[in-house]
A = this chain, B = another copy of it.
C-alpha cells in the first residue's frame, strides 16, 4: 500500500546529518504536515510514498537547514555603524547610546525581518536570538515562519526595554508564558553575561528558566579581561562562578566560551550545556581563539553562530562554518582539526542540540520537523565534482560553496524561499524603512559626535557607574555634632577618609551635554599631611532624575574615568563654555545602618565660603533596592540629627552658581 503524503522532494543528493552521516546520492524525503516522515534512496521512497506535490530537486544537495547558534538579529539595523574600533569605544560610545535612543518594538520587528531575509538566503532555518523587546522578535520571526530560540536580555544596567533588571525579569516571565507552546518559537531568558549581571540576576534567571523548562541563553568567557576580572574579584574563573550562582539548574546555551579551561569544559558537559562558537565575531573583536577542537573532542555540543550583524557584519552561515573549520586548524596547528563534516554537523544537528532543540530540528530524520534546504553545487566555483571520496560533498559545501548557492528553504514543512525568491518577506519595504532608521541614526550621531560623553569615551577608560545613586543633602551648623552621632554604637564605621577635594566643573551652554567634573582628592593622613592624590573625571548626565519623598534623589547616567591627563589637556579637549571651581574639606565614612551600607560625607566649603553640609549616598544596580534605600536615607538623616525637611535638590555646582 502506497502512502499518500503532502510533499515529496525527489532526485536530490541527501545529506541527512544523522548519527551515521547517512547520504543518499539519489535520494528523496517524504513530508507530512510539519514533519519529515521518511528519508531514503529515491527508489525506496517512491516504493512506499506518493504525493500530488512531487518536487524534482535536479540533483541539488538536500540537507537540514542551518542553525545559527547565537545572534542578536535586530542589530541588522546597526550594521556598519561603527567598525575597527576598540571594544569599549565601540560598545559604550556607539552601540549602547544608539540602542538607548532608537531601540523600540518597531525597530526590533524591522531589524528581525531584515535578518530573517538574509538568514533564509544563507540557508538558515533556526536561530538563537538574544535582544530586547524579545516578544517583538518572536512575533516578527513567527510571521516570517522561521524557527528560533528567542531570549529576553537581562542586564544590571537600564536597557531599552526596562528601567531595572526587576522589570526585565517580570517581562521575561510573561514572555515565556505567552510563547511556551508555539510551534516555531522557543522562548527563553538571557542574563546577558556574568560581568553585566548581579548574582541575583543569575540566580533568578536560572530559577525562571527551570520553572518553565526553557533554555537559558548567556555570554560566557568571551574575553580574557572578563576571566581575569572574575579571578581577581571572585577567586575563580567564569564557569565555576556561574555554577555557584546555580546557573546550571537551567538548560544553558553559552555563547563564546573563548577562554575556558578543560575543567570548565567538563563542568559544561556535565551540566549538559550547549556552546555557541562565533568565529567571525571572535576574530573581528579580537576576543581570542575558542578551544573548539578540544570541546568537540570532549563531547560538548558546540554550535556555530554569526553573533550580531553589528560585530560580524553579516549573517552568512556558509562563511561562518568555513571559518569554524579554518580557525580550528590555524589555531591548533593541525590541518585535520574540525574537518568539513564536523563543521557542518556543528551547523546542523549538533547546533540544534546546543540550543536544546535537537529533538525538533538539525537533521533529516523521520519525526523531526521539515526544516530543509536545497543547495545548487553546479556553479563553476564548486567544480569539478569528484566522486571517489564520500566526504567530498561536505568539503565542497564547507570549503567552496557560497551562501548564494542556496536556492530553496523549507521551514516546518512550509516553503519560505523558493527558486531564490522570499515568499513571506517584502524586501523592498524593509529596505525602505531601514534606510529611514539609518538616516535618523546618522543625524543623531553627527549631532552627538561633538558631545562631552562621546569625547570622554573616545579617550578611553570610561566605565558606567551603578545605575542608581540614592542621595540626600542637608545644610548643617558644623560637623562636630554629626561626628558624635556617627561614632554612636548603632552605626558601624567600615571605612573613614579625610581629604581636601578640588572640583573643577566644565559647563556647557547646551544643557543636554550634562556636566563634566575634573576632581582632585588630596588625602590627608593622621598627621595632617597629604599622603596621596587621586584625579578623576565624572560625567554627570542630563538624564531625568527621579525624586523620592523628602528630596531623596535618584540619579542616573554617570560615567567615571581616571584623569590620566592634565587639567590643561582636558580644558582644551572638551572646550567648556565656562568652568567653576569648588574647594572643600571632606570627611567621608562608609557606614552600616540597619544592615545597609551608606556613604556619609561631612563637607566644609573652603572656596566659595558656603558653610557645611551633610550628604548621605548609596549606589545600586537594583531599582527595588534603590526604593528601599530611599526610605532608609530619611531614617538615617533623622538618626544623625539632621532635619529631612531641609534637604536640597541642588547639587554643589548648582548651589555655587546660584550663590
A426-468 with Cβ < 8 A to chain B: 427, 430-431, 434-435, 437-438, 441-442, 445-446, 449
A287 surroundings in chain B (CB, below 8 A)? 330
B313 near A400 with CB under 8 A, answer: yes
**A314 within 8 Å of B (CB atoms):** yes
Interface-side segment among A278-286, A408-416, A515-523, A557-565? A278-286
Asked whether A380 and B435 contact (CB < 8 A) given A316-B402, A402-B316, the answer is no
Closest beta carbon of chain B to A115's beta carbon, Å: 10
Closest beta carbon of chain B to A221's beta carbon, Å: 16
Query: A445 is contacted by which of B280, B286, B388, B441 (Cβ under 8 Å)?
Result: B388
Look across to chain B and name the residue whose beta carbon is closest to the beta carbon of A342.
B84
Give the number of copies in the complex.
2
**A384 within 8 Å of B (CB atoms):** yes
**A543 within 8 Å of B (CB atoms):** no
Interface-side segment among A208-216, A247-255, A391-399, A583-591? A391-399
**A536 within 8 Å of B (CB atoms):** no
Query: A83 is contacted by which of B283, B319, B399 (Cβ under 8 Å)?
Result: B399
Give the dominant DSSP class at A's interface: helix
Query: A441 is contacted by which of B322, B329, B386 (Cβ under 8 Å)?
Result: B386
Query: A335 is contacted by which of B85, B312, B335, B431 (Cβ under 8 Å)?
Result: B85
Query: A385 is contacted by which of B90, B289, B395, B438 (Cβ under 8 Å)?
Result: B438
**A495 within 8 Å of B (CB atoms):** no
A289 surroundings in chain B (CB, below 8 A)? 330
A510-549 with Cβ < 8 A to chain B: none
Residues of A within 8 A of B (CB): 76-77, 79-87, 90, 114, 117-118, 121, 280, 282-289, 312-316, 319, 322-323, 325-327, 329-330, 332-337, 339-340, 378, 380-389, 391-392, 395-396, 399-400, 402-404, 427, 430-431, 434-435, 437-438, 441-442, 445-446, 449
Look across to chain B and name the residue whose beta carbon is closest to the beta carbon of A441.
B386
Closest beta carbon of chain B to A479's beta carbon, Å: 50
B383 near A76 with CB under 8 A, answer: yes
Closest beta carbon of chain B to A503's beta carbon, Å: 34
A334 near B83 with CB under 8 A, answer: no
A381 surroundings in chain B (CB, below 8 A)? 118, 121, 314-316
B434 near A384 with CB under 8 A, answer: yes
- Which among A315, A382, A445 has the greatest number of chain B C-beta atoms within 10 A? A382
Using A82-B389, A386-B438 as known contacts, list a sample of 12 further A-B pairs with CB atoms less than 8 Å apart, ordered by residue number in A: A77-B384, A80-B384, A83-B339, A84-B340, A86-B335, A118-B380, A284-B329, A286-B334, A314-B399, A314-B400, A388-B446, A404-B404
